Structure 1
């Protein structure tokens, strides 16, 4: 059963409604996400995303397949998505209500710095495993 949750950036210039399939959150430990978000990128996969004013969005193509979307007014990190539009994940912190999400997955675990560790029991994937899963390639 999917549900729609609202959210937005720090300054309010970007507002969205995101339709979820599950209330699950995952984190990415890759170096790009850590630099982009100031820590691990905590994200929720969405089935559909409605953005109220797309003129306030900036897009940075960070790899051959992915791009990062942010507010051009306040700089908030908002979405990571496949360039072909097949997958979009929304920053967990951008949702108006974050209660009741379960922490399920960690990706790019092979790039995680040794300085921290989550106590939760999660599914862990290396960068190669994640890229293979989203691109249909092999590990």
Structure 2
């Protein structure tokens, strides 16, 4: 049974709707994904290319001779990974979905570049952003302006 989900960039310029078949996602640790996202891994959801409908196509960067990455040129949000040819699939960044909470990582890719210390963080302290007073003060200041 398919479900429709929506997503897009931070500023709202690029939006998409996609028909989802499952909640399986993956983490890519390859150096290209690390650089493209600025993180230690990219959380990606692979879907059929024809299952995605764009209200506005993302800008695309040829990150290698075999692949390109979709992003918003206005706000910089990474949105996709796709092979230039030979694939009917496209990968959407999990964080670009309006509600990414349903996805679960089912596998790792690009393991040769993984950073083990970032994978199991269960022992680290937790701090909610709404409990960090310097941040709360900044938001109150701009809201009151």
Classify the TM-score, shorter chain: 0.7 to 0.9
Stretches of structure 2 lacking an aligned partner (at least 5 in a row): 122-145
**1:109/1:101 CA distance change after superposition, 3 Å:** same
Deviation at 1:103, TM superposition (A): 1.4
1:52 maps to which of 50, 55, 65: 55
Deviation at 1:73, TM superposition (A): 0.9
- 1:7-26 matches, within 5 Å, as 7-26=7-26
Deviation at 1:105, TM superposition (A): 1.1
Q: Is the 8 Å Cα contact of residues 20 and 45 (structure 1) preserved in structure 2? A: no
**Residue 72, structure 1, aligned to residue 94, structure 2:** no
Whole-angstrom distance in 1 between the partners of 2:104 and 2:115:
23
Whole-angstrom distance in 2 between the partners of 1:104 and 1:28:
11
**Count of aligned pairs between the two proteins:** 117
**In the alignment, which residue of structure 1 is the partner of 2:31?**
31
TM-score, normalised with respect to structure 2:
0.74
Whole-angstrom distance in 2 between the partners of 1:65 and 1:86:
14
TM-score, normalised with respect to structure 1:
0.77
Whole-angstrom distance in 2 between the partners of 1:59 and 1:100:
27
Select the structure that is richer in helix.
Answer: 2
- 1:1-139 matches, within 5 Å, as 1-39=1-39, 40-47=41-48, 48-54=51-57, 57-84=58-85, 85-118=87-120
Moved over 4 A (4+): none
Quote the RMSD (CA, aligned, Å).
Answer: 1.6
Comparing 88-97 and 44-53, the one that deviates more: 44-53
CA deviations on 1:16-70 (whole Å, 9 max, x unpaired) are 001122111111101111111111110111121110012xx22111223211110
Structure whose CA Rg is larger: 2
Comparing 110-119 and 21-30, the one that deviates more: 110-119
